[in-house]
Amino acid sequence: MSDMNSADNLPLPPMALSRWGTEAEARDLGEGIRGLLRDVLGVTAESGLRFDPGAVTASPSRLTESDLMALADIVGEGNVSADDAQRLPRARGKSTPDLLSWRLRPQVDCPDAVVAPRDDDEVSALLEWCGREGVAIVPFGGGTSVVGGLNPDAGDHRAVISVDLAHFDALESIDPESGEAVLGAGLSGPRAEALLADHGFSLGHFPQSFPYATLGGYAMTRSSGQASAGYGRFDEMVRGVTVVTPVGVIEAGRAPASAAGPDLRQWLLGSEGAFGVCTRVRLRIHPVPETVRHEAFRFPDFATGAAALRAVEQQGTGPTVIRLSDESETAVNLATATEAIGQGPDDGEGQAAGCLCLTLFEGTADHTGSRHAETRALLLAHGGVSLGAGPAEAWEHGRFGAPVLRDSLIDNGALVETLETATDWSNLPALREAVAGALSASLESSGTPALVMCHISHVYPTGASLYFTVVAGQRGEDPIAQWTDAKRAASEAIVRAGGTITHHHAVGVDHKPYLAAEIGEVGVRMLRAVKDAVDPRGVCNPGTLVP
């Protein structure tokens, strides 16, 4: 190959191949967690799977020297690479099957090249070339997908390239009067917050993927952040979105509200790159909060706590964050400081029982004070007991740390993963029981006990999300299949129990088999019709989203 593979302007994704986060962020397990794994699941470091970087081999690129030269003509020589070092980090997402695959299946199917366009015109030219030459594309932002959305599936095409949005990294404009900003789709959450903070503003969107996920990824997966109770889901923040499709550019969203036909933003948000490449978003922003208030509560059981959260949301008292951990999640301290996971909770009086509820309030001193007081009164009236600010402050301090521990858990023989759904308040207990039961039964049939934990972290007047964390022991020669069976059982339970197949992780590949049951035959036909209209050659993220 020529020196065009040097990719001087093409940054490497920051996360390590086989883990969430960087090598510097890796953390050893505390004694509490190691004891839990040993005593409950029967696994130790000796039984864990280890990643051997020396065993990793990348699939050979199917692109020719002529192809690479043509791509370089479009985006610049330094923005194209067929090097393994560039292709490997964009070959897999960060689900547990992805992480296990680095350990068990080191022969990696990679995108055939990585390309980083610099503006909309280059994206358009790139899509035109791909359609003409029979090459598929997969958009790449932060690489945080946990549903197979980054799989380099060429479909019926001869090759597939990863289109990195790293150069779409600017705060393009800000309108303080309207409370809006236009930001590039390749901006990470932390970088976007830093750029907005320079002007005294914040977006306030903090999913657990926040350290690495990008704004384009948030938009294309309908992300929901931990402060959704106060600021809404990401799709509620989007005032406008630019998507470059193979047949032209769509600029969706104009006035604050409109009756000019169906809202095209809603066709694009959540489309996961299947209709085109998102290059920028126009977002609602708010001033950096003057004050933050915290308080935690204990409820005797999950049903009592859920009823309290429902009362808070339906009365509209306005916490920025409100979340409820079930008895199992509370018992292992999963919701508070990362270093305390596995040690058991302590409410300050030596009592460890019930369900932990965390609240946080942001805004002016007067506004946070009034909202805190009204929320507090409701939670206490519904059976809550105040634990003070400490547990909520500990959660805020360590809220992005739990995914890092998953890598160490896998290294120590555990099978650990998350999944999520949502439903109406009246159906919440039945859905929780169905999913937890399906997960437990499947994993126990594979020969391991299963610790199934659940929390509510996103609330609405009519319902709420359920977020499950599952820890079991790796069993057999193929723990990927072990988890796949459990996820299938849980997904089928969600469909039967009337929940949504995904609340904020997106459809990707993993949830696609269940989408038709949720949106119906006509809904599937509508999706396919839009796909055919904007991507007639099917080059945009084949295999994702559309049944």
CB 257 within 8 A of CB 247: no
Mean residue pLDDT across the chain: 94
Q: Can you give the pLDDT at residue 89?
A: 97
Using the structure block, give the residue that is written with the tokens 């081999």.
Answer: 57
The one-digit pLDDT tens for each residue of the chain (547 residues) are 333 444 458 999 999 999 999 999 988 888 878 888 898 899 988 888 889 999 999 999 999 999 999 999 999 999 999 999 999 999 999 999 999 999 999 999 999 999 999 999 999 999 999 999 999 999 999 999 999 999 999 999 999 999 999 999 999 999 999 999 999 999 999 999 999 999 999 999 999 999 999 999 999 999 999 999 999 999 999 999 999 999 999 999 999 999 999 999 999 999 999 999 999 999 999 999 999 999 999 999 999 999 999 999 999 999 999 999 999 999 987 766 555 555 555 444 444 579 999 999 999 999 999 999 999 999 999 999 999 999 999 999 999 988 888 999 999 999 999 999 999 999 999 999 999 999 999 999 999 999 999 999 999 999 999 999 999 999 999 999 999 999 999 999 999 999 999 999 999 999 999 999 999 999 999 999 999 999 999 999 999 999 9
Q: Can you give the pLDDT at residue 341?
A: 57
Q: Can you give the pLDDT at residue 347?
A: 45
CB 252 within 8 A of CB 266: no
Using alpha carbons, select from 87, 191, 98, 76 the residue that is nearest to residue 140.
87
Question: SS3 for 117?
Answer: coil
Record the pTM. 0.94
Give Cβ neighbours of residue 373 (< 8 Å, ≥ 6 apart): none
Q: Half-sphere exposure of residue 42, counting CA atoms within 13 Å on the CB side? A: 7
Q: Is the dihedral of CA 507, 508, 512, 514 positive or negative?
A: negative
| Model pLDDT for residues 438-469, shown as the tens digit of each residue | 999 999 999 999 999 999 999 999 999 999 99
Q: Can you give the pLDDT at residue 2?
A: 35
Q: Can you give the pLDDT at residue 32?
A: 78
Determine which helix (DSSP H) or strand (DSSP E) holds 307, and give its type and residue range.
helix 302-315
Count of C-beta atoms within a 10 Å radius of residue 173: 11
Question: SS3 for 276?
Answer: coil
Rg (CA), the chain: 23
Tokens for 151? 């799989």
Tokens for 115? 């390309």
How many DSSP H helices and E strands does the chain contain?
A: 18, 21
